[in-house]
Structure formats: C-alpha cells, structure tokens
Amino acid sequence: MLVKNVQKWVRNLSLCLLLSITSYFSYFFSQNRFENQDTYSFKHSLSFLQSFQKFDNFSVLNYCVIRNKFFCSPSVGVGVNRTFYQQRFFPQFQVGFGYKVLSFKKMTILPEINVIFSSFSTIERHYFSSLQAGYIFQYGNKIILVHRLNAGLLNERFKNTLGSISSANTIDWQFSLGIGYAFN
C-alpha cells in the first residue's frame, strides 16, 4: 500500500514538474523585446562548478541562459566522493529558474528556485529529490566567477529491510563556486 502511494506521489510530482517547466519555457521564449533593451537579449554562459552539498560534493557542468530578466540554468554533475572513492556512480541533474534582480557592468545577482534529482546504488537504489531557493552571483564579462547558495527541502526514498519503500524528509543545502565563460 505504501509503495503504491509513493509511486503515485512520484508520478504526480513528475507530471506537475513537466507541466511547470513546459509553461515556463513557453513563456521564456515567447517574450516581446522592449525598445530600450540591448541588441543581445539572450546571454549564454557555460561554467564548471564545485558544489558542496549535504551528502557529497559534486563536480557540476552548468549552462545558464538569460533572456531579458528571466533565466534558466540546467546542470549535470557527479558526486566525487561516492563515484570515485566508493565506486558507486552518483549522478545529479539540476534545473534552476529565476529572475535577474541586480545587474551592474560586471556583476549580476539572480535569485532562483531549483529542483535537484540524484540517485546512487548500494545494495538498493537511493533516490534524492530536492526543492531549493537561493541565489546565483556572477562576476565578470567573458570569464565569469560564479557563486551559488541554496537551501530547501530534501526527500530521500529507498527500500527498507521489509521490502517496502521508505521516505525521509530533511533540510538540504548547496554551496557552489566555479568559473565559466559567457558567450555574449
């Protein structure tokens, strides 16, 4: 009974996440340009971050696209400790959405809400999903320094000794530092 409820919750969460991402991207790419805006309304950057989190530290490849004042930041990473030292592959997928609040010549502050999914296998597979709020700080023109700080709720799911799926909720955090390249 508990397994069916968890599977139903995961399916509903996935559907809601898919619908919200689809509606966000349709709004994100359909905005009209304003007359006082720069020639480049899209700003792209690719960065490599070292992310320190509750369960592991991750090496992350982050792509950030900013259009007008909205941004989307998908990331792919791998847990260093579990993957390389414990020989258990620990991938992470992250998507952040937000709004550019402050922007100076070389500095940008972007509050964000992000969703993180990760999983690793011991005897059984453990699944982690997290919803966090925080900010991204970028400094530089072409070569940029990136700092990200987020905190939020973490849900961990795994099979217990009785064979049913258990779920645990806790507080999660993320502190990242890295360097990147801005394309325009």
Higher-pLDDT residue of 14 and 37 is: 14
pLDDT reported for residue 147: 94
In Å, how far are 2, 13, 33, 86, 148 from 62, measured between CA atoms? 36, 24, 26, 25, 11
Q: What is the CATH number of the domain that holds 48?
A: 2.40.160.20
Boundaries of domain holding 56: 2-182
Query: Which residues are CB-contacts of 65 (< 8 A; sequence separation ≥ 6)?
Result: 42, 43, 44, 71, 72, 73
Q: Which amino acid is at 3?
A: V
pLDDT of 114-140, one tens digit each?
Answer: 999 998 877 778 889 999 999 999 899
Residue 30 has pLDDT above 60, yes or no: no
pLDDT reported for residue 129: 92
Q: How confident is the model at residue 112 (pLDDT cuts 50, 70, 90)?
A: very high
Residue 96 has pLDDT above 80, yes or no: yes
Task: Return the DSSP state at 99.
Answer: E
* Rounded-to-integer distance, Cα 53 and Cα 151, Å: 10
pTM for the full predicted model: 0.72
pLDDT reported for residue 34: 47
Number of domains, the chain? 1
